[in-house]
Amino acid sequence: MADFSSAMFEMTPIFGQPVKGANETAIRNAVKLALYDTILDAQKLFMLIIEPWHHAVKLEQDVKVSGNEGNAWIGTNDKPFLYLDKGTSVQHAVMRRGYNFKTKPGRYRSMGSGQDSRKYAYVNPAKFNYPGIAARDWTTKMAGDLSLNLVTHVRRRMAEIGIILG
């Protein structure tokens, strides 16, 4: 796993004893492919969030399968993403009247990209201590939303090698 003080979505399927006569390498490869399929699903969700942003957000990912355990993660250490995903305890900027935030808690989509470039009326860490940014909690939402995808991908990839899971 990468060293993220970060927003990260992680999956760890653990599979039991292989079916008698089944090729263990084929099973590991099927699980690895299912993890990659789920990482692609996660990338699409990340893109819904970051696509309209004015700066590039670097996503990192990794997939490993060894023994009877698989592990996959995808995440970023992009500071604006982290502030929005995890939230902040205090905000030191006063926003201009009528300013609309592009993201909202519980939603993946970012709303539009065109905000007034003069969005701050005043920034002063010493003077202003307004309530912080509400956590969007995207990575936690992804974990819940994609857990069924992972199961579906594992079943499909196992069926491709002739193993039908109940």
- Cβ neighbours for 145, distance < 8 A, ≥ 6 positions apart: 45
* Cα separations in angstroms, 67 against 3, 15, 104, 137: 23, 9, 41, 32
Full-prediction pTM beyond 0.85? Answer: no
pLDDT band at 4 (very low <50, low <70, confident <90, very high): very low
Say how many C-beta atoms besides its own lie within 10 A of residue 15's C-beta: 17
Query: pLDDT tens digit string along 37-60?
Result: 999 999 999 999 998 888 999 999
Task: State the first-to-last Cα distance of the chain, in angstroms, to the nearest integer.
Answer: 31
Q: What is the mean pLDDT of residues 61-88?
A: 86
Spatial contact of 38 and 149, defined as CB atoms under 8 Å apart: yes
64 φ, ψ (degrees, to nearest 5): -140, 140
State pLDDT tens for residues 127-153.
Answer: 666 677 788 889 888 888 888 899 899
Question: Tokens at residue 43, please?
Answer: 């990338």
Lowest mean pLDDT among 71-75, 81-85, 88-92: 88-92
Q: Decide if pLDDT at 155 tops 70.
A: yes
pLDDT at 16: 64
For the chain, percent of residues with pLDDT exceeding 70: 67
Average pLDDT over residues 69-87: 87
